Amino acid sequence: MYNSSAPSWLYEGSADYLAYEALLSLQSIPQSHYDFFLSTQYEECESALKQKALNNVDNTEYFFAAYSCGRIIFHAMSYQFNENDQFDFWNKLVRSSPVSGYSIEEFKNLITTNSKTNKLYDDFKKVTTSEQYALGAFRMLVGSIDIISTKK
Which domains occur in the chain, in start order?
8-147 (1.10.390)
The residues near 83 (Cβ < 8 Å, ≥ 6 apart) are none
Q: How far apart are CA 88 and CA 148, in angstroms?
A: 21
Q: Residue 126: which region, alpha, beta or left (left: phi > 0; alpha: psi -120 to 50)?
A: alpha
* pLDDT of 150: 36
Residue pLDDT tens, the chain, 152 long: 555 678 999 999 999 999 999 999 999 999 999 999 999 999 999 999 999 999 999 999 999 999 999 999 999 999 889 888 989 999 999 888 887 788 889 999 999 999 888 888 999 999 999 999 999 999 998 886 665 443 33
* pLDDT of 145: 63
* pLDDT of 4: 66
Q: How far apart are CA 93 and CA 90, in angstroms?
A: 5
Contact 81, 114 (CB under 8 A): yes
What global pTM score does this model have?
0.89
* pLDDT of 6: 82
Contact 72, 16 (CB under 8 A): no
